[in-house]
Amino acid sequence: MNGFQIVTEMKKDDKIFLVGFMGCGKSTFGRKIASALNWNFVDLDEYIEENEGKSISRIFKELGETYFRDLETLTLKEIQKWNKTIVSCGGGTPCFNNNAELINNSGLSVYISLSPETLKDRLEGEKSKRPLIERLSNIELLSFIQNKLSEREEFYNKAKIKFDYSDDKAESFIDYLRSLVT
């Protein structure tokens, strides 16, 4: 079905949560969806940075990953109250604190899937912005992505829809999403 599949039954939702590995295009694609639907867009990491007054990297370094993951959960609970919003979740968001269930109970979840090789190509130039990969060589990066994706895929696959992302499928997928929420 055009590179995407429905994983579970769905109801009309007023929030769409995009999940997937870092670099898969959640924010870029999320902005496109929000524009097409005339909805709001929020990048969860950017929202947390703005509220905390510091970068995700700095939060990780100063306060630790557990603090950050708890902050993600609290922010998701806040977003539950919003309407007509596309939410780009961080790559690890659905993997902690039962966030996958929280996301599924709050709106329509979409797993944006890309191959490890494509993710590596996208992430090589962004390592300084991403605390989990900033110290990896480009050679170590692919192995890290394969291992981390293997760990996280069970959480990503809890999404209601899986979308194998490619630019040539994006418009038809946006139309499909529109049909689900309007």
The stretch 112-121 carries a mean pLDDT of: 94
Taking the complete model, does pTM exceed 0.85, yes or no?
yes
Does 119 score more than 80 pLDDT?
Answer: yes
Residue 5 is predicted with a pLDDT of 58
Q: What is the mean pLDDT of residues 117-142?
A: 90
Q: Would you say residue 161 has pLDDT above 90?
A: yes
Work out the average pLDDT over 92-99. 97
The reply to whether 7 falls in a domain is no
Number of domains in the chain: 1
Structural domain boundaries, residue 148: 13-176
Residues present in the chain in total: 182
pLDDT band at 1 (very low <50, low <70, confident <90, very high): very low
Q: Is residue 168 part of a domain?
A: yes
Residue at 4 is within a domain: no
Residue 1: inside a domain: no
Q: Answer yes or no: is 36 within a domain.
A: yes
Residue 66: CATH number of its domain: 3.40.50.300
Sheet holding 15-19, edge to edge: 4-6, 161-164, 108-113, 15-19, 85-88, 40-43
Q: Kindly report, residue by residue over 49-79, the tens digit of the pLDDT.
A: 999 999 988 998 899 999 999 999 999 999 9
Given a cut of 50, whether residue 137 has pLDDT beyond it is: yes
